[in-house]
Amino acid sequence: MLERASAVILSALQRKASLRSPMNNQSPEKDTMASKAKINRKIPPLQTPTSLSSPKLAPRQAQSATPQVEPIIAFYIFLAAHVIAAVFSPIQDCDEVFNYWEPTHYLNHDYGLQTWEYSPEYAIRSWTYVGIHASIIGFRQLFPSSTKTTEFYFLRMTLALLCAICETRLYSTISRTLNPRIALFFLMAMVFSPGMFHASVAYLPSSFAMYTTMLGFSAFMDWRGGLRTAQGIFWFAFGGLVGWPFAIALMLPFLLEELLLASLTTQAWEAFRRVLDGTARSFIVLALQLCIDTFFYRKLACVPLNIILYNVFSGSGKGPNIYGIEPWHFYVRNLILNFNVWFLLALITLPLLIFQHFLRKQSASKQTLLRGLVFATPLYLWLGIFTLQPHKEERFMYPAYPALALNAAVSIHILLSYFGSTDPRDFVSRIPAQLKLAIVSIFILGALDFGVLRATGMATAYSAPLKIYAPLQRPGVAHPGDNVCLGKEWYRFPSSYFLPDRVKAKFIKSDFSGLLPGEFSEAKVGFGFYPGAWLIPSGMNDENKEDLSKYTDIEHCTFLVDSYFPGTRPSEHEPSYMLDTDTWDRLSCEHFLDTPQTGSVGRLLWLPDWPIIPERHRRKWGQYCLLRRRNQSVLLAIVWASLAAARRFQAHKALSRPSTPDLEKPLYSSKFKAPSRGPGVWIPQTFKRPAAPPYPDWSLESTKPLPYRPFRYGPKYNVTMGLRTMHWDDWIELDNHFLKFHDMKSRRILERGAKCCKTAPEAFDGACELLEELCDYLPQRYPSLYRKTEVGMDNITTGESFNIVERPLIEDPMQMAARFVQDDLAIMFEKSNGQYYLLAGAILLAGFWRLEDKFGMPLSEIHTSGDVPQFKEKLEKGMMNFFKRVQPDKAVLRNNYFIQVDDELAWSPSIGGEDDDGIGWFTAEKNKAIQHHWFRSERQSLRRLPRSGGVVFTIRTYFHPIIEICEEPYIPGRLASAIRSWGNDVSKYKGKERYQDVLLEYLDCKHEEQVLNGLDLEQEDAVRAYPY
């Protein structure tokens, strides 16, 4: 390569000034704008302002005198450079890992980390793009000896190959259309720039757009056999739609050229046809992408549009700016580092073209000038657009790298042509040829060397994250279920492809306070293909707000990645784990550049650690290590033994506790006095719920729902909390409707999970405590349905396995809890003002209210906003006192009932749509036929969680047709009497006016029928007792 560069320089300086441009293999055809309209498109190629070829040479002879690199040789050079990059280039951007490598890992291995961008709520990442790359890895998996690490590097090698093919295509077009010398300089700029060292093999949409940009440039530049406008539009659109939509902007100069030429010729229809052809091809790509992304998201998702809407129109508090902003000169600084003098040369291309045309007065036509301006403009356009954006990242420049290299090649070609002039009027003609050669050689070779040294420096300084995970691949080191924890080094994680199968990356708290990735759902049975792509994950937002549920406790970490730099001070959340040798062993360590302690030269370039290098310029190093927990098996044995002993002791104490008193009797109120504590402060208690015996003869097929009929005879209707003591064995009631409820909840979670299941960050521990309580109780009470495991429990019937100890959890903890039981669930937490707030809930079958309306509200507002009758007068004080004094060892029950005039358990459409505003009984149809009347009863349990202090509601709904329950003795008469006893406020609250005429008439008739058939009214108390 260097020999070729020297030959080019020498040939440039040895020739005399010429009258014809070497970029132009000019035909004798008349050079006018109208000549573009010829059918065969024999358009004169572009001329440059200054020539290096001899006027004595014919055009073909001049071209042959220029040292050339054949396209196949150029391909090998490009490929060799990118293969080196694929092996040694560190991953620069965590976005590459978490937004592309991890979703690909999910498609290939069924698990991986998930960012908010992949939540169906936002859908701003394309599964089409990820799926293409996952298919490449899937092809590699067909062959033997396929490990996840080899899959990672196989994909990188494939990207290197694709980039080399695209570069070679553009190189060949430049050589043929412009000049072989320009093509050779283009090759130098692309191969030796540190920017391409990263961009060529980066798994990023911007790199993908860079590939298609080169193909688009080639199509628009190559006019052999006719214009290739349609092909150019297709390639730019393909890169923009599948990759990065903003890259389409690079096509604008070429389209404007097409429009201008069409307006100046008689071939406007031909131009329109070409544009229409390219547009049609682009819409085919868009349609295929829509189908693929809609398949994965299970909803119509136009990802390119979503990306534009989020980045441009998202409004304050959202959009890219929340991830940081940079000054206007950010790209100038970065491009100088990544392209050194090539970038500076690229910036002066436009002035040079204008200078040579108007001042040097070379024999270049207006058409040639136009083409030169079109080729040079994309880089300026791209720089202008992205310099104006406050949020800047180096990868945003990737699509314009080929334009930069082309501009730089044109500039150096023009400058060398002038520098080689022998025209006595030019000052440079007085410089000896050998001195010119020396100056230019130093300049060119210096640029190449600077690029190599910088790329080498970055590869040697920051490659540790690609190396330290190697010991995990050794037999016996890591096992399925182990966790590799990431704290302050989370953003350098190179992806799950570097971890053994089923060894997962987890996050521990660091000083970073933004939103970390969660995990794709690993649900399988009954969920179809890739449910993690369309199940709505918990804790996601588009405002970069921290979600504490994404963190795991460090006690669950088998391995830990940490770094140590001598000049860095540890903090509360970022201690020096490497120095904690009592807990951690160093499994693998690599050098990592200590940038604060290293001088500017050492940070910019590779420098050997030779004694002759001054100390201030030498590179300083820290340690980047993979740590392993010491004596893990012994520690686990001690922990488990301690827990088992504590549980046995607590269970023995709990069995001797007195039964729960009746909360509605003041005589017992003193027993609920809590330990002294301030508002919002909870002191964890050691109470352990008594072990529950198996439910007698419980069967998923034959155990019927309990016949709750919680209404009393009138004429008086009492508005009270209606609390009664709960026996611990009866906390959760399951019956033969379980599978119906389970399926209905699963469907609701898929459709409305994020609206119906929520956990505030401060309530996460309480929600996890509820999971622990349920996983302890349910296998005890219903052993034929649930089986306890080390990490949670299994549902024997549905085949579901629930892991409640992993962090992050696979889904919102309340959402997971909702799958266990037929109940809706809610947890109230006390804040510093003494009020209890609804901060966690899974409300999927409520019928008449929505969690999204009540979430975050205090207890009083929840009831007043729902117009609960006589709440202020009779309920509020007692309810507030109860919440303040209830203790973990006491639990209570209450029941209520409603009439519903439709048969939808989850949401009653009679009061309005579930997403409508202004819902209410006023929308219900009046006096529908009795077949549409349903009896809705709720059994609610209330208890306090001992560790977190949250007050848990379980809300089990029983739902039966009125005509069904009225076949039971005494029910029609008692229900009619109860309904007639409602006051006006209760009647309004329960919608009595909408159904009373039909319902009461039916109840009276059924009651009369039962009496005529011999029903003994005096025996009701002996047969039934409240709440049955």
DSSP string, 535-550: SPPTT--SS----GGG
Q: How far is CA 569 from CA 489, 564, 627, 755, in A?
A: 15, 10, 19, 43
> Which stretches does DSSP call E strand in 490-558?
504-507, 518-519
Share of the chain above pLDDT 70, in %: 88
Buried b or exposed e, range 744-754, using 16+ CB within 10 angstroms: bbbebbbebbb
Closest CA to 505 of 485, 533, 490: 485
- Please give the pLDDT value at position 59: 40
Under DSSP, is residue 959 helix (H, G, I), strand (E, B) or coil?
strand
pLDDT in tens, 954-975: 999 999 999 999 999 999 999 9
Q: Mean of the per-residue pLDDT values for the chain?
A: 86
pLDDT in tens, 412-431: 998 888 887 777 777 777 78
Tokens at residue 854, please? 């009540």
Tokens at residue 716, please? 């008086």
Q: What is the DSSP letter of 892?
A: E
Q: What is the 3-state secondary structure (H, E, C) of 614-678?
A: CHHHCCCEEEEEEEEECCHHHHHHHHHHHHHHHHHHHHHHHHCCCCCCCCCCHHHHHHHCCCCCC
Q: How confident is the model at residue 691 (pLDDT cuts 50, 70, 90)?
A: very high
Q: How long is the chain?
A: 1028
pLDDT in tens, 766-806: 999 999 999 999 999 999 999 999 999 999 999 999 999 99
Q: What is the mean pLDDT of residues 850-865?
A: 89
Q: How far is CA 982 from CA 469, 623, 960, in A?
A: 70, 75, 21
Helical H segments across 349-485, by residue range: 349-358, 366-387, 401-419, 433-462
Under DSSP, is residue 167 helix (H, G, I), strand (E, B) or coil?
helix
pLDDT in tens, 896-907: 999 999 999 999
Alpha-carbon 631 to chain mean position: 36
Q: Say if residue 995's pLDDT is above 80.
A: yes
Q: Which helix (H) or strand (E) holds 840?
A: strand 836-842
Closest CA to 65 of 130, 99, 16: 16
State the sign of the Cα–Cα–Cα–Cα dihedral 801, 803, 808, 813: positive
User: Cα(480)–Cα(476) distance, rounded to whole angstroms?
Assistant: 11
User: Cα(190)–Cα(346) distance, rounded to whole angstroms?
Assistant: 13
Tokens at residue 964, please? 């069904």
Instruction: Note the pTM of the prediction, 2 decimals.
Output: 0.66
Residue 903 sits at the vertex; the CA angle it makes with 900 and 904, to the nearest 5 degrees, is 95
Q: Sort 964 into a burial class: Cβ within 10 Å, 0-12 / 13-18 / 19+.
A: exposed
298: region left, alpha or beta (phi > 0 left; psi from -120 to 50 alpha): left
Q: How far is CA 770 from CA 801, 842, 855, in A?
A: 17, 12, 18
**Beta-strand pair 824-830/757-759:** unpaired
Buried b or exposed e, range 687-722, using 16+ CB within 10 angstroms: bbbbebeebeebebeebebeebbbbeeeeebeeeeb
User: Cα(783)–Cα(762) distance, rounded to whole angstroms?
Assistant: 33
Q: What is the mean pLDDT of residues 130-145?
A: 93
Q: How confident is the model at residue 31 (pLDDT cuts 50, 70, 90)?
A: very low
Contact 488, 512 (CB under 8 A): yes
Residue 560: phi, psi to the nearest 5? -145, 135
**Beta-strand pair 584-593/621-629:** antiparallel
Contact 369, 392 (CB under 8 A): no
Under DSSP, is residue 268 helix (H, G, I), strand (E, B) or coil?
helix
874: region left, alpha or beta (phi > 0 left; psi from -120 to 50 alpha): alpha
Q: How confident is the model at residue 671 (pLDDT cuts 50, 70, 90)?
A: very low
DSSP output for 284-347: HHHHHHHHHHHHHHTS---HHHHHHHHHHH--TT-SGGGG----TTHHHHHHHHHHTHHHHHHH
Q: How far is CA 204 from CA 101, 109, 151, 397, in A?
A: 9, 20, 17, 12
Q: How confident is the model at residue 894 (pLDDT cuts 50, 70, 90)?
A: very high
User: Cα(525)–Cα(1008) distance, rounded to whole angstroms?
Assistant: 51
Q: What is the mean pLDDT of residues 574-602?
A: 93
Q: Which helix (H) or strand (E) holds 591?
A: strand 584-593
Q: Say if residue 5's pLDDT is above 80.
A: no
- Please give the pLDDT value at position 362: 55
Q: What is the mean pLDDT of residues 892-917?
A: 92
Q: What is the DSSP letter of 265?
A: S
- Please give the pLDDT value at position 361: 56
Tokens at residue 666, please? 């003041």
DSSP output for 176-229: HHT-HHHHHHHHHHHHH-HHHHHHTT--SHHHHHHHHHHHHHHHHH--TTS--H
Q: What is the DSSP letter of 12?
A: H
User: Cα(583)–Cα(576) distance, rounded to whole angstroms?
Assistant: 12
Contact 416, 52 (CB under 8 A): yes
Half-sphere exposure of 553 (CA within 13 A, CB side): 8
